[in-house]
């Protein structure tokens, strides 16, 4: 019964964030024309577009899509707080960080982007980014 409830909640989350996922699908689709590749990641509950050709490097999540400039989500990166000089965190896996954003999108649906931007966007000040870093470090606490 618990597995059925979990699966039902996952499907509801995927449907709830579909408008955001469409943004990612459009961006990923354009990226395919310029050399990106796509794969479904069951672990991340997302379509992952690798070698996405734009941006400063790293990844960005839109609903159940991840646009990633590298070859693998197992790549390591620094946390936002570490980059800002606030603390000395170990490196995290970019896929774990982005998976937290997938979960956040599935809870907030179309409200995620406006709330995320109101909280500071891509910044160490943003509690969504700090929560994603925490989840990547510990496997827990993806919600701000």
pLDDT one-digit tens code per residue, 100-132: 999 999 999 999 999 999 999 999 999 999 999
The CA-atom distances, in angstroms, between 83 and each of 31, 37, 88, 111, 123 are: 28, 29, 9, 28, 10
Q: pLDDT exceeding 90 applies to what percent of the chain?
A: 82
90 against 19, higher pLDDT = 19
- Residue 36 DSSP symbol: -
Asked if the model's pLDDT at residue 81 lies above 90, the reply is no
pTM of the model: 0.94
β-bridge mates for residue 46, sequence order: 41
Q: What is the mean pLDDT of residues 90-99?
A: 94
The confidence score (pLDDT) of residue 55 equals 85
Query: What span, in angstroms and rounded, lies between the C-alpha atoms of 105 and 48?
Result: 15
């Amino acid at each position: 019964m618990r597995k059925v409830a979990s699966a039902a909640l996952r499907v509801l989350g995927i449907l709830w964030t579909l408008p955001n996922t469409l943004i990612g699908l459009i961006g990923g689709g354009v990226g395919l024309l310029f050399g990106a590749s796509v794969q479904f990641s069951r672990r991340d509950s997302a379509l992952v577009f690798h070698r996405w050709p734009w941006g400063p490097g790293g990844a960005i999540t839109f609903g159940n899509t991840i646009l990633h400039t590298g070859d693998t989500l197992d790549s390591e990166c620094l946390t936002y707080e570490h980059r800002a000089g606030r603390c000395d965190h170990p490196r995290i896996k970019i896929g774990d960080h982005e998976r937290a954003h997938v979960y956040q999108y599935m809870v907030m649906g179309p409200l995620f982007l406006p709330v995320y931007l109101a909280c500071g966007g891509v910044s160490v000040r943003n509690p969504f980014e700090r929560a994603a870093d925490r989840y990547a470090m510990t496997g827990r606490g993806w919600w701000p």
